[in-house]
Structure 1
Amino acid sequence: MTAPQWMTLILVIGAISLFASEKVRIDIVALIVLVLLVVLQLITPAEALAGFSNEATITVAAMFALSLGIERSGALDPLGRLLSRIRKPWLLTLCLMLAIAPMGAFVKNIALVATFLPLALRVCANTGTSPARVLLPMAYAAQMGGVCTLIGTSSNLLADSLAQQHGLSGFGVFEFTRLGALLAVVGITYLMLVGRWLLPEEISPVAAAETDIGKYVTELKITADSPLVGQTIADAKLGDKFGIYPLELLRGDRHLWSPRSQQLEVDDVLLVRGDWDKIEDFRKRAVLEIDPENRYGHDKSSARTLVEVMVKPATTIEGSSLEELDFKSNHDAIALAIHQRGRILRDKLKDVRLTAGDVLLLLVSDEAASALRSDERFVVLSEREDTRRTSRRAIAAVLIMVSVVVISGLHWLPIPVAAIAGAVAMAIAGCYGRKDLYQGIDWKIIVLLAAILPLGTAIENSGLSHTLVQAGMGIVGEHGPLAALLMVYLLTALLTELMGHNPSVVLMVGIAISVAHTVGADPRPFVVAVAFAAATSFATPVGYPTNTMVYYAGGYRFMDFMRVGIPLIAIFCALSMYLIPLFWPLR
């Protein structure tokens, strides 16, 4: 291989490693790769910036806005109220999948899962069902719906844009629908008949202690009137009497050595863990104060409510401490307690660094609770009805979304123009606030798309794609186009589980088209294989954001995804090998 090919290959391997490790944010990884491509003169500055004006990048941003309008306008509320009446877990699972899959073809699947996650958790709590029985099928259904249309997922749009750059004709909005709908029907059938038996029936006692959202850690301050003054933690027997488990004793800024034997003094702070109702009962009976509430204070004359929020995956607040977020100033909220999956906290709450899936218990005003429901960084788990939502806005949002789909489907306007027009129409109709539009767009995804696209250009310019194709064809041998199609599908699926769906599309579309030319086949079915393999990531909790969301909320283990997801990927792959050549002939 030539020097440019070696440099490009090293960058590709480095990018895959960083994406898979999740130690660096995905958008930062893409920007690092972009800078190195220019510095090493593998692409020109103009090629480096071309991703920011790419149709796929612009369309994805506009589709974020359209999905936001559907979510904020309350268009999904009637369906949520209907589903909340279901009491049988298997029926709830089926109804959630049947509702989410069709909507996933037009609405951002992360927004769908965020909307229905609190509902599913409430029904599971009311029926005594483990959330693990419901949440994973819900996340998979959102992905199945996304592949049914060109605009259903960003990877479809990206595959279409890259295919056009290689001289192929663009795909229609509903060109993927036949294949996607058939796969969705088979996938939902598998999850109901087979997959549900592979899901964990109950969470083990150890896992339950780690994953129960109710197991909060908070700080309780010893007051002068508390009967605990002068006692030791061991003498108080908090676990036996109250079901509360002390973790640390804080005196000022010191963590006291052997806290169970220390006599409690006024103004000491106990770091305790337990269900919030038990913590609150213990606080009242022991005459204690919740230290964060006492420290920051609040107007006791104003209406306040407790709100449970979960940190969404891949948000800007990951790695931030509660002190840095300053909920009091930014949200008029006080963080009373926190739950972190798989970790028992022993630090002051203000010093805790947040990670995806952390659950916070916030004391907020009604106005602040409404703002939190609109904050794209959180999923509100204990959600109250938003009285400001009106049927007029919901109807307007639905009509605008339908208009965008029809106009782009009939080719009256290009998809980016139709999507932007729809976003503007939703803003005029009041489907979201003035600031909501920019807050609701996941800018990390936009930057990722724009910055990673030039990597595909470098792979083509350096000749690396040709070298990789020749190596791959040595494996396929003389087995024909179908064997080459299978190789492309499996390689894309593997890369997606390692680094996410959008980067894998960028790496694979050019290679897939070259493979098609090498075996004398039509490139379009190969692009379809890349799009579908990338958009149906079932085997790991990190391959797709919806998987990550339910991974934390459902208390799953990594192996649960592999046990349910790998057979589903195999089924989709086998069906795709039969259906793709049927709908898009190889010759």
Structure 2
Amino acid sequence: MTVDQGIVFAVLGATLAMFIWGRLRFDVVAMLALLVVAIIGLVPADEVFAGFGHPAVVTVAGVLVVSQGLVNAGVVDGIARFLGRVGTHPVIQVVTLTGVVALCSGFMNNTGALALLMPVAVWLSRKGGHSPSLLLMPLAFGSLLGGTITLIGTPPNIIIASYRQETGADSFALFDFLPVGIVVATVGLAFIGLIGWRLTPQRKEPTDDEELFPVGDYVTEVQVPEKSSSAGITLHSLLEKVEEDADVVVLGLVRDKERDLAPSTYRVLRQGDILLVEADTESLQYLLDVAGLRLPDGVGEDGEVEEEELEDHGDRESSHGKKRGGSRNDGDVNLLEVIISAESHLIGQTANRLSLRERYGINVVAVARQGKRVKERVGNIRFKAGDILLVQGREDTLHESLATLGCLPLAERGLRIGSPRRTLLAAGIFAVAIGALMLGVVQAATALVGAAVAMVVVGLLNPAEAYRSIDWSVIVLLGAMIPVGEALESTGGAGLIADQMLAMGGALSPVPLLAALMVVTMLLSNVVNNAAAAILVAPIAISLSQQLSITADALLMTVAMGASCAFLTPIGHQSNALVMEPGGYRFGDYWRLGLPLSALVVVTSVPMILWVWN
């Protein structure tokens, strides 16, 4: 082993350890690795940041923008709309959901496809009277299986396609992954739909009368009486009085029979005003004592609004917010469940610190973690990725604010219908890009960036939406790790690992060698980002092909399949992490379905790879 090889192995070992440790984001870790190899001189100075212009990186960015354009035009929702008409039997729901998400994942970012269909899965589970845990893990795994079908289905395929050029051949084409991917996806989906879903943990799902956020049990009305100390001050000042010792959220204000739901915190209170507040009994009593408020006539001693009072101030669902995802004010104020994504600005922050009400017009009513409501003051809860929030806001700004904050709607929602013209326009642009790829007129990066620009030009999404749709953490990861992977190859490190693998399994036939390579890639993909796993193992696969009778194509396809099928942990893929909190899953739950599914992928794909590509 040379000094340079030793340095590369040390850097990669430290990088993998930091990936697993998880204290720093994976894109930050990747940049640190790149800087180390650059400073040491293992990467030429003029190529340190060349990875950010690599075709694989540009292609991934193009796929993300095009995916958002298809969503905006209603194309994908059109595919998903029929899900509302499927039955309530778990097998039917699982098969339908996983089939649709796999189809979408083949032609758009698989995490995006999952995020689009996850609210539908939650609604279907409640419609069928069973826990979302029954559907969400199969849905996540279905998105991963669907990504194996085409070049653009998942970043590992795009990366592996670019590595093929290092063997002297052309990059893999759009449907080169199809012969193996469609067989693996079909077998995997059949297993999940018929047997696998039974292996998912059956978390208890609250009934309609016992929801995850039983807001109606905590909502009541309080009145500003005559000569109250709260009359003449702003709502913001009122909340400042009690924020240290009480957990109170103001959901609405009634004045002279006019309701203002989600009122501005700078609204000045008057005598006779009625506030609709969300608070537990202790916080409610503190609010009454400190702020000089009282319960209006018709409110019982327990703080609940009586039936007669509800009828005076609106229908029961509007006043109590019982209808999940429903409006509190004739359709212009929504109450939604949302999940905090892994890239959200909320992570590590609190609602009070971010001033969500003042800056974004959003009330955080309640927070749930691991399937249970967090019994702490909402304003002081430090948010984590995967937390489920019950938020209130005005319909015209709520979804835009949630998108800015990195939150995804989780409860039942209406599907985006979109105009037929926009739908046809988006589908046409995408079809032209796919056709150009199939005919070999242009490379994948050019075709997909061209489609993305066309969607912006015709107004399917604006430039700001296009930039927001790109997962910049993944872009930074790819741009940083590609030169690190090239350093592994240029120093001879990849060849050294290949030699050791041959020494240990030189007498093995191609089938167990490919199976071993796939298993190693799968295990790596389950503890680090799947794109990083593909970048690290691809050079080793190329070195192996130079010393075996197995073609480089077969070995690269093996790496692509292994990197794309991370079913064992929630950290192996963003799709797995996204369903963890809504499904109430624990870290150890994933292997119950993931382990047999991984074994099935290996058993199915290795013979297919040798048959098609060797």
TM-score bracket, normalised by the shorter chain, equals 0.7 to 0.9
Q: Please give the alpha-carbon distance, in whole angstroms, between the structure 2 residues aligned to 1:338 and 1:212.
A: 13
Find the partner of 2:338 among 309, 312, 330.
Answer: 309
Counterpart contact for 1:376–1:439, Cα < 8 Å: no
Amino acid of the structure 2 residue aligned with 1:352? I
* Aligned pairs for 1:58-207 within 5 A: 58-88=58-88, 89-203=90-204
Displacement of 1:329 in angstroms is 4.4
Q: Deviations over 1:537-584 (max 9, x none)?
A: 111111111111122211223333101111111111112221111000
Superposition pairs of residues 175-324 of structure 1, within 5 angstroms: 175-203=176-204, 213-214=212-213, 253=244, 265-266=286-287, 284=305, 303-324=332-353
Rounded Cα–Cα distance in structure 1 between residues aligned with 2:548 and 2:597: 28
| Shift in alpha-carbon separation, 1:218–1:325, aligned structure 2, 3 A | farther
Distance 1:482 1:204 in 2: 44
Aligned equivalent of 1:405: 434
Shift of 1:168: 3.6
After TM superposition, the score normalised by the length of structure 1 is: 0.83
Distance apart, 1:76 and its partner CA: 2.3
Partner of residue 560, structure 2: 531
Secondary structure at 1:469 match in 2: helix
Does the 8 Å CA contact 2:245/2:283 hold for their aligned counterparts? Answer: no
Q: Kindly report which structure 2 residues correspond to 1:166-565, keeping only aligned pairs within 5 A, or say none.
A: 166-203=167-204, 213-214=212-213, 253=244, 265-266=286-287, 284=305, 303-341=332-370, 345=374, 347-372=376-401, 374-375=403-404, 377-385=406-414, 389-565=418-594
Counterpart-to-counterpart distance in 2, 1:171 and 1:548: 29
The answer on whether the counterparts of 2:242 and 2:287 sit within 8 Å (CA) in structure 1 is no
Cα distance change of structure 1 residues 521 and 127 upon mapping to structure 2, 3 Å threshold = closer
Q: What is the rounded CA distance, in whole Å, between the counterparts of 1:121 and 1:354 in structure 2?
A: 22
Q: Distance in 2 between matches of 1:341 and 1:550?
A: 11
Say if 2:346 and 2:405, in contact at 8 Å, map to a contact too: no
Shift of 1:322: 2.1
Q: Following the alignment from structure 2 to structure 1, what is the Cα–Cα distance between the partners of residues 6 and 121?
A: 49
Q: Which residue of 2 aligns with 1:39?
A: 39
> Identity of paired residues, percent?
26
CA contact (8 A) 1:505 1:534 kept: yes
Look up the equivalent residue of 1:149 and give its one-letter code. T
Partners of 1:439 and 1:555 in 2: CA distance: 28
| 1:417 Cα deviation after fit | 0.9
User: Could you tell me how far apart the structure 2 residues matched to 1:262 and 1:380 are?
Assistant: 29
Amino acid aligned to 2:602: C
Change (3 A) 1:151 1:262: closer
Distance 1:217 1:37 in 2: 57
CA shift, 1:68, in A, is 0.5
Question: Would the aligned equivalents of 2:109 and 2:152 in 1 still touch at CA under 8 Å?
Answer: no
The one-letter amino acid paired with 1:433 is N
Paired with 1:474 and 1:407, the residues of 2 have a C-alpha distance of 44
Maintained 8 Å contact 2:212/2:372:
no
Q: Name the SS of the counterpart of 1:76 in structure 2.
A: helix
Amino acid at match of 1:100: V
Q: 1:487 to 1:426 in 2, by over 3 A?
A: same
Aligned in 2, Cα 1:478/1:367: closer, same or farther, shift over 3 Å? same
Code of the aligned partner of 2:477: L
Structure 2 SS opposite 1:364? strand
Matched with 1:245 is none
User: Cα distance 1:39–1:191, how it changes in 2: closer, same or farther (>3 A)?
Assistant: same
Q: CA deviation at 1:325?
A: 3.6
Cα distance change on mapping 1:6 and 1:369 into 2, 3 Å? same
Q: CA deviation at 1:532?
A: 0.7
Q: Which amino acid aligns with 2:27?
A: D
TM-score by length of 2: 0.80
Which deviates the most, 12-21 or 340-349? Answer: 340-349
Matched position secondary structure for 1:518? coil
SS at 2:48's partner residue? Answer: helix
Amino acid at match of 1:9: F
Give the direction of change, closer, same or farther, for the CA distance of 1:324–1:164 in structure 2 (3 Å limit): farther
Matched, 1:5 2:34: no
Report the CA distance between 1:173 and its aligned residue.
Answer: 0.8
Structure-2 separation of matches of 1:571 and 1:362 = 41
Q: Distance in 2 between matches of 1:268 and 1:22?
A: 46
Compute the RMSD of aligned alpha carbons.
3.3
Partners of 2:281 and 2:422 lie apart in 1 by: 57
Cα gap change, 1:472 to 1:119, in 2 (>3 Å): same
Q: Is the 8 A contact 2:221 2:305 kept in 1?
A: no
Query: C-alpha distance in 2, partners of 1:368/1:315?
Result: 18
Could you tell which deviates more after superposition, 48-57 or 75-84? 75-84
CA offset at residue 332 of structure 1? 2.3
Q: Deviation of residue 7 (structure 1)?
A: 1.8
Quote how far apart the aligned CAs of 1:308 are: 1.7
Deviation at 1:191, TM superposition (A): 1.0
The 8 Å contact of residues 219 and 349 in structure 1, kept in 2 or not, is answered as no
Shift of 1:144: 1.1
Is the contact made by 1:203 and 1:555 (CA closer than 8 Å) also made in structure 2? no
- Check 1:352–1:124 CA distance in 2 against 1; reply closer, same or farther (3 A cut): same
Quote the Cα distance in structure 2 between the aligned partners of 1:451 and 1:422: 26
Query: Aligned partners of 2:130, 2:331: CA distance in 1, in Å?
Result: 36
Q: Distance in 2 between matches of 1:147 and 1:501?
A: 13
User: Which residue does the alignment assign to 2:296?
Assistant: none
**Partners of 1:92 and 1:321 in 2: CA distance:** 37
Partner of 1:241: none
Gap change, CA 1:305 and 1:342, over 3 Å in 2: closer
The 1-side partners of 2:152 and 2:350 are apart by 36
Contact map agreement 2:76 2:104 (CA 8 A) in 1 = no
Deviation at 1:194, TM superposition (A): 1.9
Describe the SS at the equivalent of 2:195: helix
Aligned to 1:243: none
1:253 partner letter: E
Q: State the SS of the aligned residue for 1:84.
A: helix
Report Cα offsets for 1:235-260 as digits up to 9, x if no partner.
Answer: xxxxxxxxxxxxxxx9653599xx99
| 1:525 CA drift (Å) | 0.6
How far residue 16 of structure 1 moved from its aligned partner, in angstroms, is: 1.1
SS at match of 2:49: helix
Q: Distance in 2 between matches of 1:558 and 1:519?
A: 39
Q: Give 5+ residue unaligned stretches, structure 1.
A: 227-249, 270-280, 288-298
Given that residues 511 and 607 in structure 2 are in contact (C-alpha distance below 8 angstroms), is that contact kept between their aligned partners in structure 1?
Answer: no
Shift of 1:383: 4.9
- Counterpart residue number, 1:14: 14
Alpha-carbon distance in structure 2 between the residues aligned to 1:563 and 1:37: 39
> Which residue identity lines up with residue 34 of structure 1 in the other structure?
L
Alignment of 1:575-586 (within 5 A): 575-585=604-614
Contact 2:122 2:412 in 1 (8 A): no
SS of equivalent to 1:355? coil
Q: How many residues align?
A: 535
Distance change (3 Å), C-alpha of 1:216 and 1:566: farther
- Alignment partner of 1:360: what SS? strand
Gapped regions of structure 2 (runs ≥ 5)? 226-240, 248-279, 291-301, 310-327
Is the CA contact 1:149–1:176 (under 8 Å) kept in the aligned structure 2? yes
C-alpha offsets along residues 489-510 of structure 1, whole Å, 9 cap, x if unaligned? 1111110001021010111000
Judge conservation of contact 1:30–1:452 (CA < 8 Å) in 2: yes
Q: Secondary structure at the match of 1:42?
A: coil
* Structure 1 residue 330: Cα displacement: 4.2
